[in-house]
Structure 1
Amino acid sequence: MLYIGIDLGTSAVKLLLMDGKGKVHNTVSKEYPLYFPCKGWSEQKPEDWYTQMMAGMEELVENCKKEDIAGISFGGQMHGLVVLDEHDKVIRPAILWNDGRSDKETDYLNKVIGKERLSQYTGNIAFAGFTAPKILWLKEKEPENFARISKIMLPKDYLAYCLSGVHCTDYSDASGMLLLDVKNKCWSKEMMKICGINENQLPKLYESYDVVGTLKLDVAQNLGLSSNVKVIAGAGDNAAAAVGTGTVGEGMCNISLGTSGTVFISSNTFGVDENNGLHSFAHADGYYHLMGCMLSAASCNKWWMDEILKTKEYAKEQNNIVKLGENKVFYLPYLMGERSPHNDPKARATFTGMTMDTTREEMTQAVLEGVAYGLRDSLEVARSLGIIIQRTKICGGGAKSTLWKKIIANVMNLSVDVIESEEGPGYGGAILAAVGCGEFSSVKEASDKLIKIIDTVEPEQDLVEKYEEGYQKFRKIYPTMKELFRTITE
């Protein structure tokens, strides 16, 4: 049988066709615009997502045996606010994960409601990207639109609704709304009251591998597919990507070096760190995960190469970097503020330690190392909970760099496993579809059978010791600069 995975990203929807043995038969990508109506705002039109998804699906299945397609599932950008009226029409453009308009509402939740209460209600504290602050913003700034809300949805779930007619979400994606009691996997009555909404306005909750329905007849006819094709709930992009890299089961770890960076640690039990430095979310395998998210990872290197060095020769710029662990230059990777573990939108990127003999290579090396150190900040929070991590998978554009993988291995003191096929959330979505259709008995079984490791970068003891010394210096820079950042960003 064949399974479709749909990755609803911020710049494009990427569709993937996979068989039951994990082989990818076809991929299609369709772009759509981003809108920035005001400084710091970021929006998209859900209708654009649907139009491009349907166009992509037509291409994806054009040359396959359509009768073999059994299921469709999703990985998608998290936290976005999609609101529908009583006729299930989109009320306004979706407010996205990287939208910064809700600072005031985030402060209200963290400081007035209080982080301790938020953590009790949801297992998390408020971040500007989360959905609940956006709802509060809409309530205050656009009360006429707020009054029309019949359903609140997340981006990928709007697509699932368009395909199946079911208002649904999964626990992993719902975890990032600040409306879900993550530990008990139910909507938080306290958070609904705080936001002025009711449970009827929220979608039904499912596990990521649950079947929510089948293709609506008109959609099936348009695509030339059977109306018996199952629609499976899917997952938030990070949880879906974790499934696609085999990061399933107790203590499994995945590091993503994408535009943003994540440390994703799967767990069979629910846990929260003392300061809520990491997100405590449900995982797509039916259990839980901790996640540290830094807002600028591979984008730091892209900025340094494209805007400062004015070059596209990324690999060439790394060729002469040989003195690992000996760099005297440090880089704070906070180009867009920072999320985990500092939760500080006013944090900024800095270079520290340059002298008259500092070289171009040392500056480039500092950027790569700064991102690795920033990711280690999140790893240390997980370790403080007693979680033992000895190895990690790695994915994302930055993972193509042999040098960066070596730096990660030694900064983290972890074995870094490289997988055979890194297709991101779309592959994870297809795996969830296969599980939902009964191809595998569990997400863990699917992951164990389909994900293959082709290389491992091992840490080297002498470099681990040098980078340990470097990390202890790095971790002192942000606390020293924190108050200054507040004055220079006002």
Structure 2
Amino acid sequence: MTHSSTLILAHDIGTSGVKATLFNRFGNLVDSCTTNYQTYFMKENEVEQNPDDWWKAICHATKHLLNTNKIAPSNIEVITFSGQMMGVVPVDKKANPIRKALIWADMRASQQAYHACAEFGEDHLYKLTGNKMTSSYSGAKMAWLKENEHSSYQKAYKLLQAKDYIVAKLTGNFLTDFSDVSGTNLYDIRKKGWIEDLIHFWGLDIAKLPEVVSSTTIAGYIKEEIADQIGLLSGTPVVIGGADGACAALGAGITQIGDTFNYLGSSSWIAGVSDTPVLDRQKRTFNFIHLDHSKYLPMGTMQAAGSLIDWVITQWYKELAKENKNKAYEIMNQEMNDSAIGARKLVFLPYLLGERSPWWNADIKASILGLTAQHQRGDIARAAMEGISFNLSLIYGAFIESGLKMDNMWLFGGGANSPIWRQMLSDLYNIHSLFLMMLMKQHLKELQL
């Protein structure tokens, strides 16, 4: 297949890999591919990825799409990004990483978050940032880096998010957007400015933080010295893009008050739209800035959803997965269906990576309760899925209590392909039918909007 028209290239830098997608200027899908990379689970609650792996994956996926579809680099009109949030990527002036990235799942910075709460008050910080002050967010991780790896901190010219690192590598410009900066806990999401008192308290250098721009901003143009690596022409425009959660919301058409969605991926979250941050009295939920930065995305996120199901596969369906992972999932779903609602009285608390909403406890652990010799692996798999679903229902209930308007619920992500999971969530949310949105339709709608 050959294409002579101009095309849009979008990269999503996810937890498990980079998804590269080509669209024409009308928002029609041309092709897509995924390139995976490694996640490093080290000491308790320490989770990292190598930014060089992101870069290599993006270069590989870009060249694969162009070569497979016989597309000339001159046909790529623009490249843009969405990316995982709430990490820390320390880079030098040439956008080379100083060390591995602390990603969103890393929760080592509990002490730094605790000291900030003690100094400023948890309620005060929640009102400013729209987020609970915890180790999940970038600011506390930056403070941990300064305190525990001072040399790495000192060498860093900028402290970036995943997509912003790639943009800097391509263009030489160090920027972020409103949606990603709202996941740092260093930003006043109402006034749209850095919280200098908090930054100074942690001893951070505000000069190491990037400039904040709109998601539609052209961040710069691909540098001549980097063009061959990615397989595109120098001078190709690079649009900064947005945080994955915000891009997913727009892709699902979540733009008006009452729109709601539930994403089921490695992690899972529920989000709606509001003109102002929605503050929960118990701080169970949080707020990011929408890609339309005049709006907000009230959200509740749990750490391990699809990643917990993947763990179940590796533990109890290991041999099947070695032969054919898709077949392993198919058999697991059959065996879950053969189990019963309640997984034959087996309970699986799904806190494999600590938990964010609604508990906000980095030290909480996953547990399997009520296990007997009569239970089979299908019961364990179903209990895991039910545990995730019950936690999501607590998040949904928190939004109901906070008064967030929710007229409908879109469901998408890899987990949305499971009929069993869809039924569980429909029952727990007490919604007669969930609107299933497949991933490709999500991307198309994002571009059309």
TM range (shorter): 0.7 to 0.9
**Distance 1:196-1:56 versus aligned 2 partners, 3 A rule:** same
* Conserved 8 A contact 2:128-2:190: no
- How far 1:204 moved relative to its partner? 1.2
- How far 1:421 moved relative to its partner? 4.0
3-state SS, counterpart of residue 394 of structure 2: helix
3-state SS, counterpart of residue 284 of structure 2: coil
Could you tell me which residue of structure 2 aligns to residue 152 of structure 1? 159
Could you tell me which residue of structure 2 aligns to residue 179 of structure 1? 186
Instruction: Indicate whether 1:418 and 2:436 are aligned.
Output: yes
> Which whole-Å deviations, capped at 9, do the CAs of 1:257-298 have from their partners, x for residues lacking one?
222211122223322222221121101233210111111223
Partner Cα distance (1:248, 1:407) in 2: 26
- How far 1:227 moved relative to its partner? 4.2
Partner Cα distance (1:14, 1:7) in 2: 5
**Distance 1:320-1:121 versus aligned 2 partners, 3 A rule:** same
3-state SS, counterpart of residue 26 of structure 1: strand
* Conserved 8 A contact 2:45-2:362: no
- How far 1:306 moved relative to its partner? 4.1
Which amino acid is the alignment partner of residue 410 of structure 1? D
**Distance 1:363-1:218 versus aligned 2 partners, 3 A rule:** closer
After TM superposition, list the pairs within 5 Å mapping 1:77-92 onto structure 2.
77-86=84-93, 88-92=95-99
**Distance 1:354-1:38 versus aligned 2 partners, 3 A rule:** closer
- How far 1:350 moved relative to its partner? 3.7
Could you tell me which residue of structure 1 aligns to residue 362 of structure 2? 345
Partner Cα distance (1:367, 1:37) in 2: 23
Which of 260, 283, 308 is residue 300 of structure 1 equivalent to?
308
Partner Cα distance (2:160, 2:309) in 1: 34
Could you tell me which residue of structure 2 aligns to residue 22 of structure 1? 27
- How far 1:330 moved relative to its partner? 4.1
- How far 1:100 moved relative to its partner? 3.1
**Distance 1:11-1:305 versus aligned 2 partners, 3 A rule:** closer
Question: Please, what is the CA RMSD of the aligned residues?
Answer: 2.8
Could you tell me which residue of structure 2 aligns to residue 214 of structure 1? 221
Partner Cα distance (2:99, 2:377) in 1: 47
- How far 1:205 moved relative to its partner? 0.8
* Conserved 8 A contact 2:105-2:303: no
Partner Cα distance (1:212, 1:68) in 2: 20
> Which whole-Å deviations, capped at 9, do the CAs of 1:378-421 have from their partners, x for residues lacking one?
11111122113232111222211112101111210223111244
**Distance 1:268-1:327 versus aligned 2 partners, 3 A rule:** farther
**Distance 1:347-1:224 versus aligned 2 partners, 3 A rule:** closer
Which of 247, 253, 259 is residue 240 of structure 1 equivalent to?
247
* Conserved 8 A contact 2:347-2:368: yes
- How far 1:309 moved relative to its partner? 6.6
Could you tell me which residue of structure 2 aligns to residue 403 of structure 1? 420
Which amino acid is the alignment partner of residue 356 of structure 2? R
* Conserved 8 A contact 1:329-1:351: yes
Instruction: Indicate whether 1:205 and 2:232 are aligned.
Output: no
Instruction: Indicate whether 1:390 and 2:395 are aligned.
Output: no
Partner Cα distance (1:377, 1:407) in 2: 14
**Distance 1:262-1:420 versus aligned 2 partners, 3 A rule:** closer
Which of 282, 299, 319 is residue 337 of structure 2 equivalent to?
319
- How far 1:87 moved relative to its partner? 5.1
- How far 1:154 moved relative to its partner? 0.9
Could you tell me which residue of structure 1 aligns to residue 353 of structure 2? 336
3-state SS, counterpart of residue 100 of structure 1: coil
**Distance 1:357-1:37 versus aligned 2 partners, 3 A rule:** closer
Which amino acid is the alignment partner of residue 399 of structure 1? A
Partner Cα distance (1:276, 1:100) in 2: 18
- How far 1:169 moved relative to its partner? 0.5
Which of 114, 137, 146 is residue 139 of structure 1 equivalent to?
146
After TM superposition, list the pairs within 5 Å mapping 1:107-126 onto structure 2.
107-126=114-133
- How far 1:109 moved relative to its partner? 2.4
Which amino acid is the alignment partner of residue 140 of structure 1? E
Partner Cα distance (1:375, 1:166) in 2: 38
* Conserved 8 A contact 2:343-2:382: no
Partner Cα distance (1:326, 1:32) in 2: 33
**Distance 1:110-1:228 versus aligned 2 partners, 3 A rule:** same
Which amino acid is the alignment partner of residue 180 of structure 2? D
- How far 1:176 moved relative to its partner? 1.0
Q: Give the count of matched residue pairs.
A: 430
Which amino acid is the alignment partner of residue 250 of structure 1? I
- How far 1:5 moved relative to its partner? 1.0
Could you tell me which residue of structure 1 aligns to residue 61 of structure 2? 56
**Distance 1:368-1:52 versus aligned 2 partners, 3 A rule:** closer
Gaps of 5+ in 2: 1-5, 321-327
Partner Cα distance (1:61, 1:38) in 2: 40
* Conserved 8 A contact 1:121-1:190: no
- How far 1:48 moved relative to its partner? 2.9
> Which whole-Å deviations, capped at 9, do the CAs of 1:102-158 have from their partners, x for residues lacking one?
222222223444312322332222222211111111221122332333211111101
- How far 1:17 moved relative to its partner? 0.7
**Distance 1:134-1:393 versus aligned 2 partners, 3 A rule:** same
Could you tell me which residue of structure 2 aligns to residue 470 of structure 1? none
Instruction: Indicate whether 1:274 and 2:299 are aligned.
Output: no
Instruction: Indicate whether 1:289 and 2:289 are aligned.
Output: no
**Distance 1:249-1:120 versus aligned 2 partners, 3 A rule:** same
Which amino acid is the alignment partner of residue 319 of structure 1? N
Could you tell me which residue of structure 1 aligns to residue 39 of structure 2? 34
Could you tell me which residue of structure 1 aligns to residue 391 of structure 2? 374
Larger relative contact order (C-alpha < 8 A, sep ≥ 6)? 1
Could you tell me which residue of structure 2 aligns to residue 10 of structure 1? 15
Could you tell me which residue of structure 2 aligns to residue 458 of structure 1? none
Could you tell me which residue of structure 1 aligns to residue 324 of structure 2? none
Gaps of 5+ in 1: 435-445, 448-490
* Conserved 8 A contact 1:395-1:422: no
TM-score (norm 1): 0.79
Q: Which shifted more, 18-27 or 273-282? A: 18-27
Which of 85, 100, 108 is residue 101 of structure 1 equivalent to?
108
* Conserved 8 A contact 1:74-1:235: yes
* Conserved 8 A contact 1:252-1:389: yes
